[in-house]
């Protein structure tokens, strides 16, 4: 069974305006184009815009690097992860959501990490980020740092959900919420 069936990114509700939605391979050049649109759509709220762009890059690059559904780049045979992303305007917040296929056991690990991140203080998360940097292999960081950064930057809990409709794979959906009227 294709776990992507019937999982189109939903429009949240009548209070939410969808700014963009994309489904397909997460090429960096394409992410850059969407990133430029994101900056334009949100330029009325400069601090929120900066935070949103940082989180957008982290979440979308996680999909690009780690999605279990991928295509191979014609140039260098590198894996380009596939998934979905959506930017939404919801009253006083922006929502950035990504969704991609992960192995069933990885979905459980990711959920546990999100739980830890959501229940941790800023100081603990900063320490965790430093520890993860040290323990990560030289060439690549795990998705964990991106998730920690999303919480640290947004200062809001990460919403996540697992859609299980296959014995081996799940869809992992993650939403970061950024307050429009951010102050420092």
Partner 1 sequence: MKRIEFRRSLSYPYYPGVVFDADSGVCEITGESYMEEAYKFYFPLINWLKEFTENKNEKITLNIKLIYFNTSTTKCLLDMFEILKKYKNKGNEVEINWFYDKEDPDMIDEVKDFEKEAEIDIALKGF
Distance CA 57, CA 114 (A): 18
Q: Cβ closer to partner 1: 3 or 81? A: 81
Q: Which stretch binds partner 1 (CB under 8 A): 13-21, 102-110, 138-146, 166-174?
A: 138-146
Residues between 19 and 48 that touch partner 1 (CB under 8 A): 28, 32, 46-47
Distance CA 53, CA 33 (A): 12
- Reference 174, options 97, 114, 65, 85; nearest CA is 97
Residue with tokens 């991140």: 117
Q: Cβ closer to partner 1: 10 or 72? A: 72
Pairing of strands 70-72, 93-103: unpaired
CB of residue 153 to partner 1, shortest distance in Å: 6
Number of residues that bind partner 1 (CB under 8 A): 29
Please report whether residue 74 would count as binding partner 1 according to CB under 8 A.
no
Q: Cβ closer to partner 1: 53 or 169? A: 53
Distance CA 108, CA 112 (A): 6
- The string of DSSP codes covering 104-129 is HHHHHHHHHHHHHHHTS-HHHHHHHH
User: Is 57 exposed, middle or buried (CB count within 10 Å of its CB: 0-12, 13-18, 19+)?
Assistant: middle
In this chain, which of 123, 140, 167, 181 binds partner 1, going by CB under 8 A? 140
Please report whether residue 61 would count as binding partner 1 according to CB under 8 A.
yes
CB of residue 148 to partner 1, shortest distance in Å: 9
Binding site for partner 1 (CB under 8 A): 28, 32, 46-47, 50-51, 53-54, 57-58, 61, 64-65, 78, 126, 129-130, 133, 136, 138-141, 145-146, 149, 152-153, 184
């Amino acid at each position: 069974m294709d776990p992507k069936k019937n999982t189109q990114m939903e429009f949240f509700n009548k209070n939410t305006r969808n700014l963009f939605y994309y489904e397909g391979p997460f090429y960096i050049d394409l992410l850059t184009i969407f990133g430029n649109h994101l900056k334009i759509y949100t330029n009325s709220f400069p601090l929120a815009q900066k935070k949103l762009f940082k989180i957008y890059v982290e979440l979308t690059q996680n999909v690009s690097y780690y999605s279990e559904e991928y295509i191979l780049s014609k140039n260098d045979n590198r894996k380009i992860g596939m998934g979905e992303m959506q930017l939404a305007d919801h009253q006083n917040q922006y929502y950035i959501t990504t969704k991609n296929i992960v192995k069933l056991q990885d979905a459980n690990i990711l959920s546990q990490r999100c739980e830890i991140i959501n229940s941790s203080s800023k100081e603990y998360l900063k320490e965790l980020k430093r520890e993860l940097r040290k323990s990560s292999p030289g060439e690549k960081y795990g998705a964990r740092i991106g998730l920690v950064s999303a919480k640290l930057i947004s200062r809001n809990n990460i919403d996540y959900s697992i859609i299980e409709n296959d014995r081996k794979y799940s869809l992992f959906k993650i939403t970061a919420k950024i307050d429009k009227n951010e102050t420092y």
